Structure 1
Amino acid sequence: MAAEDGRTPVTVWLSAEHVALLDAMTDALHGIDPASSGAEIVDQIVAHGLDLVEADLRAIGAIKSERAK
């Protein structure tokens, strides 16, 4: 049933990986200076997310390299 403003509540099932990513992003938010502008906050969140993706890609590369041996 939609709320008065048209929004509809949904249930979302997350994998352990998604939960870990959300936890990491939440941790990143705790380090943000509240005086930062909205753009600065977004930049910090994106940078942290890119760091996480880069780490994942390195881990995947290491796994593929190990399997190729």
Structure 2
Amino acid sequence: MSNLRPLVVSESGAAHLLSVRIDEFRSLVAHGSVPRGRELAPGLTRWSVEELSAFVSGKAVQGLEDVDW
């Protein structure tokens, strides 16, 4: 069971995955550079690990899907 990869992470977990401080992460989210978290339940916001990975790899770019990189 220890090989499970999380589907979602907390704000601090998302910042840790991106190797940035919490205040830097909040700034990136506020500026739209990083995807916003999703409220899974009242007061429970989490970030999708898959979306964060897509952001880092450049696969999350919208509107440029037909560009041949």
Instruction: Normalising by structure 2, report the TM-score.
Output: 0.24
Identify which of structures 1 and 2 has the higher relative contact order when contacts are C-alpha pairs closer than 8 Å and 6+ apart.
2
Instruction: Normalising by structure 1, report the TM-score.
Output: 0.24
Q: Computing the radius of gyration over CA atoms, which structure comes out larger, 1 or 2?
A: 1
Query: As a proportion of its length, which structure holds more helix?
Result: 1
